[in-house]
Structures are given as C-alpha cells and as structure tokens.
Amino acid sequence: MSLLADLLSTLIERRAAVGQGADDRPIEDLCRDLLGSRGEVSGYALVAAILDRYDAMDDAGKLAFFRFLNDEMDIDHGAVAAALAAYGDAPSQATYRAFMAAAEPARQELARRLNQVPGATARLVAMRADLLRLIGQDAALAKLDLDFRHLLSSWFNRGFLVLRPITWSSPAKILEDIISYEAVHAIDSWDDLRRRVQPADRRCFAFFHPAMPDEPLIFVEVALTKGVPGSIQAVLAGDRAALDPAQADTATFYSISNCQAGLAGISFGNSLIKQVAEDLSRALPQLETFVTLSPIPGLAAWMQANLVKAQSAAEQRQIAAHYLLNAKRPNGTPLDPVARFHLQNGASVMDIHAGADTSARGQSLSGGAMVNYRYDLGRVADNHEAFVHEAQVIAAPEIVKLAAQPLPDTA
Amino acid sequence: MSLLADLLSTLIERRAAVGQGADDRPIEDLCRDLLGSRGEVSGYALVAAILDRYDAMDDAGKLAFFRFLNDEMDIDHGAVAAALAAYGDAPSQATYRAFMAAAEPARQELARRLNQVPGATARLVAMRADLLRLIGQDAALAKLDLDFRHLLSSWFNRGFLVLRPITWSSPAKILEDIISYEAVHAIDSWDDLRRRVQPADRRCFAFFHPAMPDEPLIFVEVALTKGVPGSIQAVLAGDRAALDPAQADTATFYSISNCQAGLAGISFGNSLIKQVAEDLSRALPQLETFVTLSPIPGLAAWMQANLVKAQSAAEQRQIAAHYLLNAKRPNGTPLDPVARFHLQNGASVMDIHAGADTSARGQSLSGGAMVNYRYDLGRVADNHEAFVHEAQVIAAPEIVKLAAQPLPDTA
Amino acid sequence: MSLLADLLSTLIERRAAVGQGADDRPIEDLCRDLLGSRGEVSGYALVAAILDRYDAMDDAGKLAFFRFLNDEMDIDHGAVAAALAAYGDAPSQATYRAFMAAAEPARQELARRLNQVPGATARLVAMRADLLRLIGQDAALAKLDLDFRHLLSSWFNRGFLVLRPITWSSPAKILEDIISYEAVHAIDSWDDLRRRVQPADRRCFAFFHPAMPDEPLIFVEVALTKGVPGSIQAVLAGDRAALDPAQADTATFYSISNCQAGLAGISFGNSLIKQVAEDLSRALPQLETFVTLSPIPGLAAWMQANLVKAQSAAEQRQIAAHYLLNAKRPNGTPLDPVARFHLQNGASVMDIHAGADTSARGQSLSGGAMVNYRYDLGRVADNHEAFVHEAQVIAAPEIVKLAAQPLPDTA
Amino acid sequence: MSLLADLLSTLIERRAAVGQGADDRPIEDLCRDLLGSRGEVSGYALVAAILDRYDAMDDAGKLAFFRFLNDEMDIDHGAVAAALAAYGDAPSQATYRAFMAAAEPARQELARRLNQVPGATARLVAMRADLLRLIGQDAALAKLDLDFRHLLSSWFNRGFLVLRPITWSSPAKILEDIISYEAVHAIDSWDDLRRRVQPADRRCFAFFHPAMPDEPLIFVEVALTKGVPGSIQAVLAGDRAALDPAQADTATFYSISNCQAGLAGISFGNSLIKQVAEDLSRALPQLETFVTLSPIPGLAAWMQANLVKAQSAAEQRQIAAHYLLNAKRPNGTPLDPVARFHLQNGASVMDIHAGADTSARGQSLSGGAMVNYRYDLGRVADNHEAFVHEAQVIAAPEIVKLAAQPLPDTA
C-alpha cells in the first residue's frame, strides 16, 4: 500500500500547478479547439481556460453552455445512419470504427479531454450537479445528462472505488463532509459525530475515488449490537456504554448517505453495503446478522392518502407491514423508495418497529415506524432475482402474516 | 497527500480477498449472467469465476472467447437502426437512451462489470494484450479491439494517471519492471539501472494508474546536461562524474518505453514528456532546453532500399537529415516512426549526430546516427498544427539546409 | 518519506498486541525482576504487568511506588565513592564502567527497560505527569523527578522530534488535542479552530515524537500579516478576509502551548519557534519580520503590588514597558515568565500595545496590554548571550525610552 | 499509521535544509561553544559546522578529536567527589542535581546537543564506527566508547525501534543494504536476494530507527518449512518449489546480520528474533516450532586445537554436540560465540546436522556442521535464567546423550 500511497502523492500537489490560459474567445470556440487537433497537444491550457470560464458563469451562462453541448455536440443523425449502413454492408474494423465514432456524441470526447487535468474529475462532477439543478428549466437537457451519466458510470466503476473506514483519526475536512452530508439522522455537532465514529461498537465507511481523494462519495454508519436494535434512539443514545465488538452478533446499518449531487443515479449503495458486510464478517467472524434500521419515508403520506389511522403501536406496525408489502407503484414495485432500494439489492423485510424514531422528522414521515431490512449474503442474489423478475417482496413470515391481516378501520 | 495514501491503502490489501466461485458452467453463460439482473448484485463471485476461467485457458480457448465477444456481444444492426429512427422521429431522453443502449455493444458493459473487482483492471489490460497477440489469427477480432481501446482510453484518461519519479529508493519490483521494459537502450544489470536513476543528474519518471499501483505504464529516462549531448555513449558512460543539477541547462530525454502491451495505441508518451518537462522546469528554473536523444530506426533500411551509402560521418548526417525531412509515407507523414511520434507531439528536429550510438543495435538500425528532437513548450502547439494539417516537419535551419543538399552518389 | 511512513506503520498496529502478564506479585518485585537477568529476555510480559499495575493504582499507591523508586532505587553512596576512588587510582575502561554503573541510579535503567514495549514512552510521560502532580505531597521526590527529566531530555532530544503542520486536513483526534491544550487564547469550538488552521494566512505547527505519533508535544499558531498586529482581537476576528500569503511581510506567533504535562521543563518552545521561522522564510522568502504577540501575565499583579495605576492607554503602555525592562527577580532576570522565555531564546522587546487583549483573561492579567517579541534569526545568539551573561534585556529604542520615563503617580 | 506516516514525512525532506556555518575555529572551540550558553540557541549552525568538520577529517584528525573528548570532556574527579559528599551530607534535589551533573562527563551532553539536527543520529553512529575502528590505536579511548554506548543504548531503546518486513517491494536502496550486510550466507546477486524475500515461504524482517529511516539496523531471514530443515543447501536451493505458508509448521531463522558497525554491542538480535516469532505466530497460528539453522563458527578451530578428527558424518555430529555442550570459556560459558548468543537469549540446542553447509566457508568453520537452536517462547525465560545463573546449556535429550559419549580417538 505504501507503494500506492507513494505513487499517488503527486495528485494533490499537482493541483496547484494547473496552468492558466487567458484565452478570451467564447467557451464554445475553446471547446471546438479542444476537440480539434490542437487539443491533443496543448490540452492543459485550453482545459484550464474552459473549466475556469465555466466556473465563473452564472446559471444563465451555464444553461446556455449546456444547450450548446446538448444541441451542437449531438450525434449527426444522417452520419450515424450512413455509418450503420456501411457497417451492415461490409462489417470491418474500418466500418465499425466509423460507426462507433458517429454513434457517440462529440460531447463525450469533450468530457474525456476536459478530464486530462488533475482536479478536473471533481469539476466535471460539479458540472453535472449544476445540470441536474438546472435541468428543470429545460427538459431537453435530459439527453445531455445521459451522456454525463454514461461517462461517470464508467469512470466511477466499482473497480476504481476505494472503501475506507472513517474514524476519529480521519481528517477533519472529511469528517466535516460526513456531518454535512448525513441525510438520514442529522449530526448536530462534532460531539455527535464522535459518538458515531469513535466508540468501539460504531463504524463508518465511505467510498472514495482516487481522482477525488478528499471527497467521500457515499458513506454508511454501522452499529455493532447484540441483537437487532428496534429504535434509532437506542442506537444514537448519548449515554450508552460501548459494547465490546467481540460480543456483537449483529451489524446494523442505520444510515447511508450520498455525498455528491453530481453522481446522482450512479449507484454505489448496493456495493457499499455488501462490501462493508463482507469486510466486517472477515474482521469479526462471530457476526451473524447484517441488517438495516431504515426509515419508511412514504408511510405517513400513504396513510393520509388512504385515510388509514393507527390507534396503537401494534396497529402502526401492522399498517407499516401492509404498506411495505402491498402498496405498489403501477409497475408493481413497492411505493416506498427506501424499500425499493434495499429490496432491489436483495435484502428482505425482517422486522418492523413502531415508535422507533421519535424525532420530529421520523414522526412526520412514518409516525415513528422503522424497518429492518436484512442482508443475508447467501440469499441476496435469489432475493434480487425474485424481486426483479416477479416483483416479489421477500419478508419474514411474521411480517408476511402481519401484512395479510385486514387494515384497521379507516378514519 | 497522506490522505490519499491512506484512503487508497485498502486497494492492494483487498486483492487477496476476492471471492471464488466454483461455478462450472461455460464462460459464455457466466458472461450472460453477469450482464443479466443477477450480475447486478452477485457480481463479485461471477466476475472472479469469469476471470479465473479466462486465465486458465490456452490460446485456442482465448480465441474462442474473443470470438464469442466479437460475434455474440456485438450490436444488433436492426435494433440500432430502429432506435436511431425512433430518436430521429421524436428526440427525447427516452429515445436517446434507447439509441445509446442499442449503439453500444454488450461487450462494453460486460467489461465494465468485470472491472468491479479490485485487480480486474490489470487483468483486462492483460486480456487485451492476449487479444493483440492473437489477433493475427483472426482479423475479424479487430472490431473487438476497438471496444477494448475505447474503454481503456476512457479509464486511462490522462486525468487519472499519476506521474511519479523512479529512484533508487523505489520498490525493487518496479525497478525490475523498468529493467525489463526498457526498449531503447537495454539495461544490463542492477548496476546499470542504478546509473540511470541514482546520480544527481539523472532522472526517471513513470505514469501509473491508481487501479494498477505497482505497474508502471510508461517511463522516460532523462539526463540533465550542460549542452545537448551528441551521443548515447556519453550519456550512459559508466565512469562519468555526475553534474550538479543546478549547473545543467538542458534536460535530455534519452529513452521512453511503454510497459503494458495491453495498452498499445493508448498514447501516454506525449503527455509524459510534457509533464516531465514542466515539472523539471519548475524544479530547476535554469533549464533552457528540453530535447530528446532519439534513434532513427528506419534509416538503415531506407538507405539499403534506396541504395544510399555514407562514406563519412558528414555524409551519414546529411543522409539522416534528408531521410527525416524528405522520406515520406503515402499520406505525407515521415517514414520514420520515432520521427512521427515526436513531430506529431509538436517537437522539431534540432540536430543530428553520426556515430552517436555505437551499439550493435544502433549500428544496424541507423548506422549509428541519432537525432535530437526539441520540445519547446511555447511552440509545440503551433508545430503540431503545422504537422497535422500540412504535414510540415519543423527543423532547425542547419538541418533544413543539410536535407536540401543533394544526396551522396548512390552505391 | 514514504519509506519512513512505511517502515513505521507497525508502531500503532502493534500497540494492540502488547502481552498481558497476570503476575500478582507486588510491583516492587516485578521491578526488581525486570532489572534482573530475567528482565533481559522476558521483558515484554513483565513490562506489561508493571505498567498495567501502575495504571490501576490510586494516588496513594502511586506515591508509594514513587517513594520506592526514589529510595530503594537510588545510588549507593558508598559504592559510588569506592568506584570513584578506584577510577581515580587506575583510570581504565573497567574502572570507568564500574563508576558509570554506580553513579547512575537503578531507576534509570528500570525506565529504559520499561520503555521496550511500544506505547511505553507515552505511559512513562504520563507517569511523570503523575509525579509532578503528587510531588507537592513529598518534596523528597524531587530527586526522582531529576532522573525522569534526564531520561526524557535524552529521548525527546530535538533530533528525534518531527515538526508537522496542523491543518484542517489533520486527524480530528489531533485537532481535538489542539483545542483542549490551547493555553493562551482559548479555542471555543471547531469553527473557532478552523479559523486558526484553514485560512491561507493562518498556520499551525506542532512537534511530535515518533514513539507518540498521535500526541502533539507543543504547538504554535501563526498569523501571516501585513505589518505587526497590535491586538489579538484583530488576529482572531471571525469576519476578517484572509490575506494572500504572498502579500504578507510578517509572521506573528500569537500562541504557543505545551500539550504534555509529563514533559514539563523539557524545553521545545525555543526550537519550535526557530524551526517554524526558518521553514516559513524558506517557503515565503518575502517575510521580513518574525514576531510574537504575547501576553504579559504578571503585569496586573505587579501593578497591584506596587500600587501603580494606569489612567490611559498611553500610561498602560509605559507601565508595561517599565515592568518588562525593569522589574526583576532577585537573580536579575525579568519578573515576567513569558518575557523570560522569549528573551532567554534570544528575542527582543519590539513593541507594546494597550487594549490589545480585551478578553476577561487579558484584562485580569495585564489590563489588556500585550507585547511583541521579535525573533531576528541573525541576532538571537547575541541577544541570548547578553541576556544570559549580563541579564540584559534587548528592546527597541522606543521601548527603552518609554521604560526610562518616570512611572505615573501611584494610587 | 497514516498519521504517523504523515507526521514523519518532514524528517527526510528536512535533511537537505541543515544550515552551514563557515566557522573556521578549531573543532574543539566549536564543541566548547556548543556546550556553552550560545549552544542553546544557535545550535543548528554550530552542530552543522562540527559534524562537517569531523567528516572532513582523516583518521589522525579523528583520533585527536576522540582524545579531546576522552580527556578534556571527562568527569572532574574532585568535583564528583565533592558533589557526592555534599549529596551524602544533605540529600536534596539541589545536591542530587549537582552530583548528577558532575558524574556525567561533558561529552555526553555534547553528543545530545550534536543530535539536535535531523540526520545527526546517523552521523553519530558513524562516528562511533570510526571510534571502534581506531580504538586499537589508543586503548585509552575505550572510556569514550562507554559513553557512546550508554547514549546509543538509550536512544536505540527497543521501544523506539520499528520492525518492518523486507520484501521485493521494499526500496532498492534498502535491499542493496541487505545484500551488502548479509554476514552469514552471502547474497550473490539480486536474483539471489529475490529468492530470499519474494517466495511465499520466505520472510525477512529488519529493525529500523525513526531517526535513520532508510538504514536497517539488523535483519533476520526466515524460511517457513514443513519440519526443521537440516541443511542450508535445502533452504537456499535455487530450484525449489515454494511451500504454501498455510502448510508450514516451522519457522526457521537461517541468518541474522547486523548492519551498523557503530551500534556494535547494542543488542537487538534477541528482541528481533522474539518479535518476529511472535508476529509470525499471530499471522500463521499453525506454526509450532521456531528454530534457527545456525553455523558453529568455532568448531573446526577447536577440533584442530584439540586434535579431534571426524571420520564420518556421525562422528562430526557427535563432536559438534560435545563442543557445543562441553567446551567452555574460563567463565563457564560456551566457547562458541553463536551458541552463547542464542543460549543467552533462552534458546536450547535442538539438533545438529553434519554436511549441512557445503560452502567453502561452512567447511572451513565447522566441517559443514550446523545446529538448530530452538526458541520456545514459553521456555526462553527459564532457559535464560538457567544459563545465566548456572551456565547451564539446555539441549534436547538426544543431543545431551550424544555429547556425553566419548569423543572419537584423536588424530
């Protein structure tokens, strides 16, 4: 590893050294130049000029730039059709190459050339975050987003990501990111953060990309517990005594948050949970259960829409079971987005708890109910298949039974 | 940087942990599975099975596997045409997405999924090296190679590469690679290597990729000199006294070698030379000249073919000038491959030396003549443009004059 | 450096592995054993037993243990006299060795043997912190403290210390130490800390010892400024704009704090300031002035004792000048401890500011007055000599003049 | 660990920056200055001047400098006697401090002050290597060596040393040291080295000191084997197949070599073997036996001196057993120095092999016989005690029996 450490040490140092070009032509001309022959050899200055120009733009400027990419740097319909025909007539390396070139819009090559400067990857991710923010103003840009997504999926391929523990010895800069990106159970303060990363029975892991080494991409918080916890209050209690990790039989994933708006839709969560589960079970072989403690964000809204009310914890639990197993979107998948995420990953519904999240947010989203999704590494593939092909939601027998009971009288 | 170092430290550790699948279905079935829904969640085991299966194959097996990728995982002509038409009729995100999906052969997604296991990148590079080795047996595979090249160009984008000095304190494993990959002036022994990396006036730099941290991709050897050296013997002399780098006015690139057969055609050399030149000029601001000392590998063959003979060093030099500036391929670019590389990069022909390489190899390739190509960072863009658009070879006036003289009488 | 990094990486890992001995003899017997022949080979278990036993003691137990070290492990007067005489009679290696052995109390060798376990250094430093805390209860232990001090001075020799910048990317664990050890101008919060380490014109540096890599020993906070700042409010202002470091002409050391109570009296401050000054002047050659902004902690008490009152800022300044230059201890050195520290280091009194520290603490210690001590690296040796040999306080002419004026009427 | 790595990274960088003093007074004056008050604050320049001056000296100059340290910087007999008496009369911190100061020769403080510059530790170690080389020319210098030894023992305390594996990925600079310092079974070439560090069943470990991070202090080579190897030829065979480490039941230490002449007599070997044994048994819990394969360097000379001859392998083995167990020095310890080292460490004689070292060196030292010393971590303390207090050599019953048989007829 020190080898890797060593060889990568220039990445950050070099950032400072990216050249500046004081080229004042329109950014569109600079982009055309970068795609032209000059771009092959004088890339650095051009790239710096383009990225700096972009950063200085207001939203109107950025929208105009995105439209330029979307429209001018699109595929040429006629050229693709011709290349396709030529390839069909005489399949050869030459005709295939011509087809490949025609079928890929120029903006993809532009992005690759922009990426030749160290630090550019993060700036392109930020550019896509801008695009997603502004896309509502021009639905046609959805096309451009597909190209961003295609490229970023390739660059942020699982094989290039690095899983790292986040601890109290991690750089403050990264811990600060964790505080600000935590999306599920807000971290109030550095002391609150410390309670999540420092005790022996708490873990946090994040994926990083070598080209953005100080930016976590996604992170998950884990509690090592004896038994499956039934409330987030128990997990986050400030005064609890830490458990000796060797005594734990369960790893509870109680929060998973994305950090990069510009990487929306490029899914790391699935890999992250499984990788962490594998690593933990290697380090602590006595762990038997890998489970989440998850919110049910759509429950309260669904209850309201369907005029369902819970008079007791037992009823709340029953309604939640019904909602998770029976409430479906038109395509047959569950209404609840968190349920879709974990079930799609191959998890199963293990248990449901009323009064499990007493925070204002928990109350308003789900009346305080939470759910454990179980990741049984030996079963995720089958569960996933059943879910994908038959929209089948795998759940513990008790939950299945609960969901099958008649709902309490509606209000 | 320690941050980066730290966060990446798992990469290598993790390699050992890649799971094994004892799945004995044909590799083609495993690949189809990996592309299917199961592949999304149970990727690790499948990928390991596929890569291990591949590694165990003999050349016949590999050829068969390549044909499978080439033929079965190709684009579907009709589907592309239909998607293109649909997109043309109603351009929308949905039709564009469908076109993108259709226009990319499934083998590209397969490669991306194979790459999700740490260590897979190097194995895919090795797979392409196999392909290039075997491609002569089936020219149709050239198509498949275009896809490899497309993906690897994106993954080995300049922005992801890391430039590192290679020194006598570098890991022996990497130094051993340098010894074995040196393609221009062979390194005989560890002592010979040491003479190229340890003296204060010698430098060596290599590009690395974070996913292959112990494999150099390409490296360049540099001599810091007072004046431009006129022979490789002077540069490599075993008994020379090292120059104080602060006294040097010239950085001479005397060898540049690729290390990865599987990355052939994905050009790093251009970036490497310029990056090293920039770094050196920051560290040693008194350096004035950046120059190569390069072989002229096609000279002797050309002289033989054209019945040209040199009776003296002066004649040899004149013939070399003529050859470099006037001997062209049908498309107007220089016959000499090394000349094409440097001129395409924006270098110019600065000087030519007879008797500059007295080794057997140097004698047989060029009768001992060598050439200095100059990298003037302020001029490379213009030179490159002139070369690309007008096939113009920029050379020092003296060399232009030399090349214009009538050749000595042919034999 | 990666070499060093690499080779040291085991230090921390190993900590976990220190063996446990369940030896229940008295700690005194364990210590005698450790000094005996068995200690040479079975050191680990014995050391672990002794250190664990010590850690579990209450203060009474620790006092008893210190008395054991002080009394039983002292030099043997008669043995020293005999060895000295033998050496005097016949100076040889053998007689000198015998004298050395006799003249060193056994507790020093005991400490060296205790230090053979990784992590022991920090525990011995903590042991001395206990000793200093308890020494008031038994003045005879002052002797034992001299041995601790002797050993720790040798182990924490300047050549073994490592200077490191503390930044917002430093581990949170270390930043937390900085917050809690800051002794001069309290750090209220992580945001307050960030204001001292993150802006481009703020620096923080600490000394570390390789055997205690996550424990800062002493740190200094520096502001890069244009001109010498005249108040701590200006330095710590929350809303100020950061200065481009290239524009700074002055480095102001505005806080220096020790972190290890167990290293009291082992002076690093002198080296730290000079090392940081040297490093900064290499990195930012345009820096002209290296100066502190220091409290005058004894001023208010002295004014009260001498019935001196200031009616204005000007009078406060004049009184402070008088106090710093003229108020002396019986041995002729300045009354003010901070003044002694910097003047002993070779600094001079450069300027004095009234109203420079409006905090409650600043008001109560010095009525808000602060002083700039100047470190002129070319003059520190001479200043130091003058101070040490002639108790001469070097000061700027204006301050000398101010100090020479008659004091305002006493109250 | 990355923390440590990070914080130490300045050590090497800083080396370049040590200041130069162009002070041309005699080195003795510089040393007196360094010990005086000026030395406290202007240490860097003085230290650099002294160390540079020393390095430039020839042996005569060095001898003179050593005599200066030995004679002028000795203890003052009268002063020690007076301080001792004062302390005896009135034991107090003040009288104890005065005694400590008097009883320590000034050269020890001088060495500590010299060590304040980074890089100085290695230079002081080199200075002692000079002293040991020259001490034959002036036996009086043995006194000075005791002070060096005292200081270096404290600085190179086990707790400060770092154990690191040496692998084929270690820096070439360090591997080169391993090649040149290997004292037992010479390493012929880089390929030979590779055979000792790269195969899965070969390990190498070295101790390092943080202040000399690129200089191994001592290293040991280990073979993981099935059963205890009976010849060095088997261990070093070029064509053997590597054993899967998980199959090994034995770790054989077949070579241990010191690297620093200047650290002679400061024993690390004992700690190194035990530390490596502990680490290996943690990593490979199935290892049952830790054993050396050691030369018997004094055997042939002893046989010659005692006119003993072996007519067969069996006789050679019997004679070796006799020699190891019965041949003693006047003080009762074994004649053989390697035997003394391991037995003193608490090892036992496990087995003896004739024809075990067929190299010329092995033949000439011991007629090819070698011995296995066993390190049974549960027994080393008892063995050591028996050896130290009763000069008892613990050996396997078969060896005891062998040693008790009458020697073959002498020649």
The CATH code of the domain that includes C136 is 1.20.140.90
pLDDT for position B388: 87
Angle at A99 between CA A98 and CA A100, to 5 degrees: 95
Choose one of C132, C155, C178: the last residue of a domain. Answer: C155
Interface test with D, best of C1, C2, C4, C282 (most D CBs within 10 A): C4
Of C2, C3, C169, the CB nearest to B3: C169
Summary mean pLDDT of chain D: 90
- Distances in Å between the Cα of C183 and the Cα atoms of C177, C255, C258, C361 are 11, 8, 8, 11
pLDDT of C22 > 60? The answer is no
Q: Which of D89, D162, D390 to mutate to test the interface with C (most CBs of C within 10 A)?
A: D162
Beta carbons within 8 Å of C381's beta carbon, 6+ residues apart: C346, D38, D41, D42
Same domain assignment for residues D87 and D166:
no
Has residue A245 got a pLDDT over 70? yes
Q: Above 60 in pLDDT, residue A409?
A: yes
As to burial, measured by CB atoms within 10 angstroms (0-12 exposed, 13-18 middle, 19+ buried), residue C315 is middle
Do C151 and C165 sit in the same domain of this protein? no
In the predicted model, is pLDDT for residue A259 greater than 50?
Answer: yes
Measured between beta carbons, which residues in chain A are less than 8 angstroms from residue C168? 171-173, 176
The total of other beta-carbon atoms located within 10 Å of residue B64's CB is 12
CB neighbours of residue C261 within 10 Å: 14
Q: Is the pLDDT of residue D118 over 90?
A: no
Closest Cβ opposite residue A169 in set D3, D5, D169: D3
Q: How close D169 comes to chain A (CA, Å)?
A: 8
Residue C116 pLDDT greater than 80, yes or no: yes
Least confident window among B29-33, C7-11, C336-340: C7-11
What confidence score (pLDDT) does residue B21 get? 43
pLDDT of residue B4 exceeding 80, the answer is no
Residues of chain D contacting residue C120, judged by C-beta atoms under 8 Å apart: 159
Flag whether pLDDT at A10 surpasses 50: no
* Tokens encoding B58: 């003999």
pLDDT digits (tens, 9 = 90+) for C279-297: 999 899 999 999 999 999 9
Which residues from chain C sit within 8 angstroms of residue B5, using beta carbons? 2, 5
- Overall pTM surpassing 0.90 (yes/no): no
HSE toward the beta carbon, residue A126, CA cutoff 13 A: 13
Partner-chain contact D8 C162, CB within 8 Å: yes
- Per-residue DSSP letter, D70: I
Q: Do D5 and A3 touch (CB under 8 A)?
A: no
Residue A4: its pLDDT value, please?
38
Closest CA of chain D from B109, distance in Å: 34
Contact D217, D268 (CB under 8 A): yes
Which of C2, C4, C7, C10 has the highest number of chain B CBs within 10 A, making it the mutation to test binding with B?
C2
Mean pLDDT of B188-209: 94
D409 within a domain of the structure (yes/no): no
Nearest chain D residue to B1 by CA: give it: D6
What tokens appear for B119 in the block? 């260590």
Q: Are B339 and B216 in contact (CB under 8 A)?
A: no
Q: Are residues C188 and C95 in the same domain?
A: no
Tell me the sheet residues that pair with D253: D222, D292
Q: Is D60 within the bounds of a domain?
A: yes
Q: Model confidence over A212-240: pLDDT tens digits?
A: 999 999 999 999 999 999 999 999 998 89
Check whether residue D96 and residue D200 sit in a common domain.
no
Q: What is the DSSP letter of D71?
A: I
Mean pLDDT of D132-153: 95
Chain B contacts of A145, Cβ < 8 Å? 93
State which H helix or E strand residue C100 sits in: helix C93-103
Q: Is the pLDDT of residue C12 over 80?
A: no
pLDDT over 70, % of chain D: 92
State whether B134 and B194 are in the same domain: no
Q: Say whether pLDDT at B203 is over 70.
A: yes
How high is the pLDDT of residue C378? 86
CB-based contact C315:C408 (threshold 8 Å): yes
Q: Are residues D89 and D198 in the same domain?
A: no
Tokens of C139: 């003045």
Considering the domain architecture, whether residues D67 and D184 belong to the same structural domain is answered as no
pLDDT band, very low/low/confident/very high, at C14 (cuts 50, 70, 90): very low
Shared-domain flag, residues D166 and D151 = no
**CATH label of the domain that carries residue D382:** 3.40.630.150
In a domain, D124, yes or no: yes
Q: Mutate which of A168, A177, A208 to disrupt the C interface (most C C-beta within 10 Å)? A: A168
Of C5, C175, C176, the CB nearest to A2: C5
Residue B169 to residue D173, Cβ atoms within 8 A: yes
Q: Are A171 and C173 inside 8 Å of each other by CB?
A: no
pLDDT of residue D19: 38
Q: Which two tokens stand for residue C57?
A: 């003691």
Identify the chains in contact with C, defined as 3+ C-beta pairs within 8 A. A, B, D
Question: CB D169 to CB B214 under 8 A?
Answer: yes
pLDDT, position B324 = 97
pLDDT tens per residue across span A330-358: 999 999 999 999 999 999 999 999 999 99
Among A1, A248, C332, CA closest to D165: A1
Chains contacting chain A through 3 or more C-beta pairs under 8 A: B, C, D
- Predicted pLDDT at D70: 95
For the segment A80-106, what is each residue's pLDDT rounded down to a tens digit? 999 999 999 998 999 999 999 999 999
Say which residue, D134 or D11, is predicted with more confidence: D134
The answer to whether D6 contacts C77, with C-beta atoms less than 8 Å apart, is no
Using an 8 Å CB-CB cutoff, list chain A residues near B91: 143
pLDDT (mean) for A119-142? 95
Residue of chain C minimizing CA distance to B169: C3
Specify whether D127 is located in the same domain as D170: no
Round to whole Å and give the CA distance between C90 and A18. 72
- The DSSP letter of residue B209 is B
Domain that holds residue C390: 160-404
Q: Are residues B198 and B222 in the same domain?
A: yes
In chain A, how many domains are there? 2
Chain D residues in contact with C84 by the CB 8 A cut-off are 77, 80-81, 84
Question: D108, D127, D155 — which closes off a domain?
Answer: D155
Looking at residue D2, its pLDDT comes to 37
Residue where a domain terminates, one of A155, A171, A205: A155
Provide the pLDDT confidence category of residue A22 given band limits of 50, 70 and 90: low
Position C386 in a domain: yes
D45 or B83, which is more confident = B83
Using a CB-CB distance cutoff of 8 angstroms, which residues of chain A are in contact with residue C6?
2
CB contact under 8 A, C3 and D171: yes
Q: Is A205 strand, coil or helix?
A: strand
Contact A5 B3 (CB under 8 A): no
Tell me whether residue C410 is in a domain.
no
Contacts of B42 in chain A (CB under 8 A): 346, 380-381, 384
Res C10 pLDDT > 60? no
Q: What are the CA-CA distances from residue D243 to residues B173, D191, D290 (Å)?
A: 21, 19, 17
Closest residue in D to C166 (Cα–Cα): D7
Mean pLDDT value of segment D123-151? 96
D22 falls in which pLDDT band (50, 70, 90)? Answer: low
Interface of A with D (CB under 8 A): 2-3, 5, 169
Residues C116 and C244 placed together within one structural domain of the fold: no
Q: Which residue has the higher pLDDT, D279 or A19?
A: D279
Q: What is the pLDDT of residues C270-280, one digit of tens each?
A: 889 989 999 99
pLDDT of residue B40: 67
| pLDDT of B7 | 37
Does residue D201 carry a pLDDT above 60? yes
**Does C158 sit within 8 Å of D41, measured CB to CB?**
no
Contact list in A for residue C2 (CB cut-off 8 A) is 2-3, 5-6, 9
Query: How far apart are the CA of D407 and the nearest CA of chain C, in angstroms?
Result: 34
Q: What local confidence, expressed as pLDDT, does residue A64 receive?
A: 97
- Taking the CA of residue C27 and the nearest CA in chain A, the distance in Å comes to 29
Tokens of C339: 């003044």
pLDDT at B327 over 80: yes
Q: How far is D171 from chain A (nearest CA, A)?
A: 10
Measure in Å the smallest separation between the Cα of D172 and chain B Cα atoms.
Answer: 5
**Confidence label for B410 from pLDDT (cuts 50, 70 and 90):** low
Instruction: State yes or no: pLDDT of A5 exceeds 60.
Output: no
Within 8 A of D174 by CB-CB distance, chain B residues are 169
- Rounded to an integer, the average pLDDT of D192-204 is 95
Cα B219 versus chain centre, distance: 9
B20 band by pLDDT with thresholds 50, 70 and 90: very low
Considering the domain boundaries, does residue C318 fall inside one? yes
The answer, yes or no, to whether residue A40 has pLDDT greater than 70, is: no
Percent of chain C with pLDDT strictly greater than 90: 77
Q: What is the pLDDT of residues B300-310, one digit of tens each?
A: 999 999 999 99
Instruction: Examine the domain organization and report whether D140 and D203 are in the same domain.
Output: no
Contact (CB<8Å) A8/B1: yes
Instruction: Report ipTM (2 d.p.).
Output: 0.87
- A170/C175 Cβ within 8 A: no
D306: its two tokens: 């005692």
Query: What one-letter code names the amino acid at D321?
Result: A
Task: Please indicate, yes or no, if residue B411 is contained in any of the structural domains.
Answer: no
Residue-wise DSSP of C317-348: HHHHHHHHHH-B-TTSSBS-HHHHHHHHTT-E
Say if C411 falls within a structural domain.
Answer: no
Q: What is the pLDDT of residues A143-197, one digit of tens each?
A: 999 999 999 999 999 889 999 999 999 999 999 999 999 988 889 899 999 999 9
Q: Do B41 and A146 touch (CB under 8 A)?
A: no
Q: For B213, name the nearest residue in chain D, comparing CA atoms only.
A: D169
Q: Which residues of D touch C91 (CB under 8 A)?
A: 143
Residue of D173, D174, D197, D204 to mutate, interface with B, max B Cβ within 10 Å: D173
